Structure 1
Amino acid sequence: MYILNKNIKLTENDDTIVWKYLDLSKFLDMLLAHQLFMSRSDKFEDQYEGTFSEPTYEEIKKIAANNPKFLDYYKSHREKVVISSWHANEYESFAMWQIFTKNNEGLAIQSTIGRLKEALKPEKHYEQYIGEVNYIDYKKDFIPFDDTFFPFLFKRKSFQYEREIRIISDVSKTNLTIDNGLKIEVNLNLLIEKIYIHPKSENWYKKLVIELVEKLGFNFTIEKSDLESDILI
């Protein structure tokens, strides 16, 4: 269940459209398990994920001079934070198709921030938050560290095109062992508003996705990407 945290920035517009671009195998795994995969924060491609900007790090070093465990905590904490990333955009993104899908196959889940909030099922041992990522200059800008989630809600400006919304959880108070990530329970019928098929995919691929979704008992609206619409002249 989504927990409101006043310190975490998030638009109040629940109708804000968000997208998740993924390959067919990951999508089918989601449908079969009725679960959403959340990646361990230190497993992302960006090596700066969950780290601090230079001005913040200088402040932390001063504190750690008399308390070495303070710095050790932040280093190990990345292994206990899990994240599901979504792209905020009114329309499909050609760049996101290119980055997150391969071989002209894959699909995009269209949802909204309101649907994300409603779809998350209560977890007994940890809380789930939703927040917008802030894009900053890591050489100049300060990242607050009075909230343990803050390092995971900031990224370098070079990733600004991602326009990322994150579902984020800290499992450090549990006995869970996290390898690459964690699957969480979700209501997929609430989570998924529509499915878009890769713009470069063949007709057989769309048919395959429709058949698989139907056999698994879902009735999502499935469409071919708008990026491959017929030319009018």
Structure 2
Amino acid sequence: MYIFDPRIRLPEDPDTIIWKYLDLSKFVDLLLYKKLFMSRSDKFEDQYEGTFSEPTYEEIKKLAKDNPHFLDYYKRHRKNVVISSWHINEYESFAMWQIFTQKNEGLAIQSTLGKLQKALAVDTEFEQFVGEVNYIDYKKEYIPFDNTFFPFLFKRKSFQYEREVRIISDLTKFDLEIDNGLKIDVNIEELIEKIYIHPKSENWYKKLVTDLVAKLGFDFQTEKSDLESDILI
């Protein structure tokens, strides 16, 4: 279920448009099982994920002198936090198509922040928090650590293009052995507002996706991205 935390930054407008770019297999998995995959935080490509900036680390080291287990907690904690990443943008992102899809295939789910929050209500086992990522200079700027989620809501400035909002769950109390991540229940009809097909895909691919969505019992609006539409001159 979605839990609101006033300390976590988030756009105020529930109609803020968000996107998730994914390949067909992950999309089918989402529709078929009505579950959203959340990746273990230390499995992300960015090795700094869930870590601290240099000024914060120096402060934590001082605190750890009298509590040697303090740093160990944060190292273990990364294995117990799972994340689903979304992209904030009023329009499609060419960069996101390039990064998260391959071979001229793939899809983008368009939703809104408010719809995402409502879609999470069906999961009664885990608590989900939603927050916007802050992009900072890890050599100079400070990351607060009075909230255990804060290390997962900061990234280096070189990732600013991601404009990320993320769903975060801390599974520490469940004492689970998490491999690459886990799936949470989600209301698919509430979550998906529209589906966009890869701009460089062929017509057969759009038909495949459209037919697949229909056969699984959904009637989402589906259209091909117009980022590669014909020029008008």
TM-score bucket (shorter structure) = over 0.9
Whole-angstrom distance in 2 between the partners of 1:178 and 1:110: 29
Task: Report the counterpart of residue 11 of structure 2 in structure 1.
Answer: 11
Q: Counterpart of 1:227 in 2: which secondary structure?
A: coil
Task: Report the counterpart of residue 206 of structure 1 in structure 2.
Answer: 206
Task: Report the counterpart of residue 30 of structure 2 in structure 1.
Answer: 30
The sequence identity of aligned pairs, in percent, is: 76
Whole-angstrom distance in 2 between the partners of 1:135 and 1:174: 30
Alignment pair present for 1:40 and 2:18: no
| Residue correspondence of structure 1 range 48-67 to structure 2 within 5 A | 48-67=48-67
Task: Report the counterpart of residue 215 of structure 2 in structure 1.
Answer: 215
Alignment pair present for 1:134 and 2:134: yes
Alignment pair present for 1:226 and 2:226: yes
Q: Counterpart of 2:223 in 1: which secondary structure?
A: strand
Task: Report the counterpart of residue 98 of structure 2 in structure 1.
Answer: 98
Deviations 1:165-205 (A, max 9, x none): 00111000113221100100000000000000000000000
Q: Is the 8 A contact 2:197 2:223 kept in 1?
A: yes
In the alignment, structure 2 segments of 5+ residues that lack a partner are none
Q: Calculate the aligned-residue CA RMSD, in Å.
A: 0.9
How much does 1:127 deviate? 1.5
In the alignment, structure 1 segments of 5+ residues that lack a partner are none
Whole-angstrom distance in 2 between the partners of 1:72 and 1:61: 11
Whole-angstrom distance in 2 between the partners of 1:118 and 1:203: 33
Whole-angstrom distance in 2 between the partners of 1:3 and 1:41: 19
How much does 1:126 deviate? 3.3
Whole-angstrom distance in 1 between the partners of 2:93 and 2:159: 14
Task: Report the counterpart of residue 180 of structure 1 in structure 2.
Answer: 180
How much does 1:123 deviate? 4.2
Task: Report the counterpart of residue 156 of structure 2 in structure 1.
Answer: 156
Taking a change above 3 Å as real, the CA distance of residues 216 and 124 of structure 1, as seen in their structure-2 partners, is: closer
- The two structures have a TM-score, normalised by structure 1, of 0.98
How much does 1:111 deviate? 0.3
Task: Report the counterpart of residue 78 of structure 1 in structure 2.
Answer: 78
How much does 1:2 deviate? 1.3
Q: Is the 8 A contact 2:123 2:186 kept in 1?
A: no
Taking a change above 3 Å as real, the CA distance of residues 205 and 125 of structure 1, as seen in their structure-2 partners, is: closer
Matching residue's letter, 1:139: K
Deviations 1:81-123 (A, max 9, x none): 0000000000000000000000000000000000101100354
Q: Counterpart of 1:29 in 2: which secondary structure?
A: helix
Q: Is the 8 A contact 1:125 1:174 kept in 2?
A: no
